[in-house]
Amino acid sequence: TTEIYTLSLHDALPILAVGPTGFGVIYSAQPEGPENIYFRFIPTSGAIGEAVLVTNDNNITRSPTIVAFGDGFLVGWYDNESGGFEVRTRLLGADGTPGAEPVMLTDNMLRDDAPELATLGSGALALWVEDDDRALTRLLRGIRLDNSGAPVGSTLELTTTSNVVDRPVASRLGEGALIVWGEGSGTDRNALGLFMNADGSTGAITPLSTSGGVGTLAFATNEAGAIAYNVGGGSAAIVNVIPVGLDGTASGEAQRVNIEGDDGGAPAITSFEDGFVVGFTARSEADQVVRLSAVDASGNLLGTLDGPALAGTVGILQMATIDRTILLSWGITELRSVRVTCP
């Protein structure tokens, strides 16, 4: 591992993407005045970029998301600049320089939040959760974007009666994309998946886990895909990985990748060579650390090592890979990142 970088001195939760020449880190923070979205560029080696202001709002601006797009990045978030909670996107250059003005994807009398982005065909897919507090529903919505980031067609109603209680995660899978979310609560909460073709058509919603108790979800794709999630909490927490085929359905059983007694918190996953690396918080003697478990394409555990030590409880852990360099980012009371180079 190399130096741990402090990206923000304020409480912030990072989201990562792999760009054309390095990593892009997006986060919301309040260094002074209202909460806004910031970007930091981190190359695989050398000095990291300065913070770039992506939004300049006067109200709530939260839940950023980012995906590599064209020669740079596409970012999304939700805010209440227009009087309601709406989802917006914006193109950034490879160094995070904002391009055209933000594009508002939603415009209704409901709360739209929890955005997610993934590439799809030659463009992208934007997702969000539509919250109707009168109907007591949180429904999954989306829209396709062309290669300029402009919306294509009308809003896609991806769920109609089910409650999506948290943020969806999505990633490109072949020419399409797989959308994953958790549904239910407590011991009844499971991961569901929906595969979308490049033209926006979808198949049936399929269960990806059946044992219940699913906590934080993370998803990454390689030649195929894998989902990481935790069950339970504290020293009894289990971190599982489920392999996913190119059709978006589970291609194997859940495999545990943490040892008994680990905290197993804040799981994240990234592709690495022919398989994946799963990160999660754990205990190493008296310290909380990020533990990294290598798994093959079928989710079988290959080995585990301890990453950086942490000071405090991690709200979210994110991972991304370029060649053999993994970037880890996490938020506690400060936002930090570290590059892990694998020989």
pLDDT digits (tens, 9 = 90+) for 78-107: 998 877 899 999 999 999 999 989 999 999
Q: Answer for the pair 36, 27: CB distance below 8 angstroms, yes or no.
A: no
C-beta of residue 103 within 8 angstroms of C-beta of residue 151 = yes
What is the mean pLDDT of the segment spanning 5-27? 81
Whole-number average pLDDT of the chain: 89
3-state secondary structure of 53: strand
Question: What pLDDT shows up at residue 20?
Answer: 83
**Per-residue pLDDT at 1:** 54
State whether residue 235 is helix, strand or coil: helix
For 188, the 3-state DSSP assignment is helix
* The pLDDT of residue 177 is above 60: yes
Beta-sheet strand order (sheet of 61-69)? 61-69, 72-79, 86-92, 103-104
| Antiparallel, parallel or unpaired: β 287-295 and 151-157 | unpaired
The CB-side HSE value for 221 (13 A sphere, CA atoms) comes to: 22
- Number of C-beta neighbours around residue 312 at 10 A: 11
- The residue-averaged pLDDT of 268-275 equals 94
Task: For residue 90, give the 3-state DSSP assignment.
Answer: strand
Q: What is each CA distance from 342 to 213, 220, 271, in whole angstroms?
A: 33, 19, 13
Q: What is the pLDDT of residues 204-261, one digit of tens each?
A: 999 999 888 999 999 999 889 999 999 987 677 899 999 999 999 999 999 999 988 7
pLDDT beyond 80 at 36: yes
More confident residue, 122 or 184: 122
Res 5: pLDDT: 75
pLDDT band, very low/low/confident/very high, at 11 (cuts 50, 70, 90): low
- What is the identity of the amino acid at 224? A
The two tokens of residue 9 are: 């001195």
What pLDDT, on the 0 to 100 scale, is given for residue 284? 62
Q: Could you tell me how many residues make up the chain?
A: 343
Would you state the pLDDT for residue 6? 79
Is 161 a residue whose pLDDT tops 80? no
